[in-house]
Structures are given as structure tokens and as C-alpha cells.
């Protein structure tokens, strides 16, 4: 029996089918840089298209990767949960959300919820409680800082051993050599 997706490969691309072949990639636990070039190296074998949108978000990287077909995107989705490098740069792969839906859940909920006067009072009370809590937390943080400052002043100095860091580029080169060696071994 034919699936509903069988004809997506042969049909011309339209606005509706574009979102069906785009994956949203989130790369977390960044140790090495992740950019468009690296994502092309990773996804070009799965028939990714030329334009990959990459957004550096500080602690992670987000990217939208369009593929030539839905089947190619489904095949690339199998990388979900894997790491680009050994133990770091983890992939979280989701389907891109369609942007043609003008009614978001928040908009929809706000049209059916009526705010009562009692809710308004409750909200005011909660805001006051939150302000009191924020002030208390600031006091506690200040006390902790003062304790830490006095504790550090009383601690004897300790000589720490020097640490030699390996630059990321050197690790990447070593990793690439190992990958190439494994590939050669598989073909031999």
C-alpha cells in the first residue's frame, strides 16, 4: 500500500511541501566551533541544499537545514541524539515548524480566557510576593558573597600545577585522522 509521502519525492516543491523537508538542528555541549561549513560536511551526504541558516546562540547553535526531498530529510533525521565529535557537540534534530499558521496557541487561548477581577487581585498579590522574594534572594546572595570574601581572605595560598591545554584545532585534526583511518580499514 502506498504511503501519503510517496508522491512528495516526485512533486514540484511548493510552499506547503518546503516545510516538510526542513530540519531544525540544535547543537549543544559545544566544545568546538559549529558553523555552516561543518553542517554542510555533515548533511551534504544526505542531499542538503546549499543554504543552511545558522544562528550562534552562546551555549548552543541552531540551524535550519533544507533537504532536496522529504525522504532525504527523514534519512538525515536518524542522526538525532548523536555527537558530531566524540562526547561533545550533540545533535537534537526536529522537524521545522510551519510558519503559515497565523493562530498560535497563545493567541487562541487569549481569545477564550476572560480575566476576572479576582484574577487581577491574585496577580497583584503574586507580584508583591515575587518582589519580596527577589529582595530576599538578593540579600542572601550578598551575604554569601561576603562570606566567600572573608573565607578567601583567611585561606592560605596554594600553588596549582600548570595545565597544558591542547588547542581545539589539534584535536580536530587528530579526530579527522582517526576517522579517515577507520574509513580506510572498513574498505580494505
Q: Which of 28-32, 116-120, 165-169 has the highest mean pLDDT?
A: 28-32
Task: Mark out the alpha helices in 69-167 (DSSP H runs).
Answer: 70-77, 105-112, 117-154
Domain 10-95 has CATH 2.60.40.10: no
Average pLDDT along the chain = 75
Q: What's the confidence (pLDDT) of residue 105? A: 43
SS3 (DSSP) at 172: helix
127 DSSP assignment: H
pLDDT at 186 over 60: yes
Span 174-179, average pLDDT: 68
Closest alpha carbon to 98 in 27, 29, 15: 15
Q: What's the confidence (pLDDT) of residue 11? A: 39
Span 134-162, average pLDDT: 73
Q: What's the confidence (pLDDT) of residue 60? A: 94
Rounded-to-integer distance, Cα 51 and Cα 43, Å: 12
Whole-prediction pTM value? Answer: 0.45
Q: What's the confidence (pLDDT) of residue 119? A: 75
91 DSSP assignment: E
Q: How many contiguous H segments (helices) and E segments (strands) does the chain have?
A: 6, 5
Cell numbers describing residue 22: 526542513
Question: Across-strand partners of 92?
Answer: 26
Higher pLDDT, 97 or 60: 60
Spatial contact of 15 and 100, defined as CB atoms under 8 Å apart: yes
- With a CB cutoff of 8 Å and minimum separation 6, the contacts of 11 are 17
Residue ranges of domains in the chain: 10-95
Rounded-to-integer distance, Cα 85 and Cα 92, Å: 14
Spatial contact of 51 and 40, defined as CB atoms under 8 Å apart: no
Amino acid at each position: 500500500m502506498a504511503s501519503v509521502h510517496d508522491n512528495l519525492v516526485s512533486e514540484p516543491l511548493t510552499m506547503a511541501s518546503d516545510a516538510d523537508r526542513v530540519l531544525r538542528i540544535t547543537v549543544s555541549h559545544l566544545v568546538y566551533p559549529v558553523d555552516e561549513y561543518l553542517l554542510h560536511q555533515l548533511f551534504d551526504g544526505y542531499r542538503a541544499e546549499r543554504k543552511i541558516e545558522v544562528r550562534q546562540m552562546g551555549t548552543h547553535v541552531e540551524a535550519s537545514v533544507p533537504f532536496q526531498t522529504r525522504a532525504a530529510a527523514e534519512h538525515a533525521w536518524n542522526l538525532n541524539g548523536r555527537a558530531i565529535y566524540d562526547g561533545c557537540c550533540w545533535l537534537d534534530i526536529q522537524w521545522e515548524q510551519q510558519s503559515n499558521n497565523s493562530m498560535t496557541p497563545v493567541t487562541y487561548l487569549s481569545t477564550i480566557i476572560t480575566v476576572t477581577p479576582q484574577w487581577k487581585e491574585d496577580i497583584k498579590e503574586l507580584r508583591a510576593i515575587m518582589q519580596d522574594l527577589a529582595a530576599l534572594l538578593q540579600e542572601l546572595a550578598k551575604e554569601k558573597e561576603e562570606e566567600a570574601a572573608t573565607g578567601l581572605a583567611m585561606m592560605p595560598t596554594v600553588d596549582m600545577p600548570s595545565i597544558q591545554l591542547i588547542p581545539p584545532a589539534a584535536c580536530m585534526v587528530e579526530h579527522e585522522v582517526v576517522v579517515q583511518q577507520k574509513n580506510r580499514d572498513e574498505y580494505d
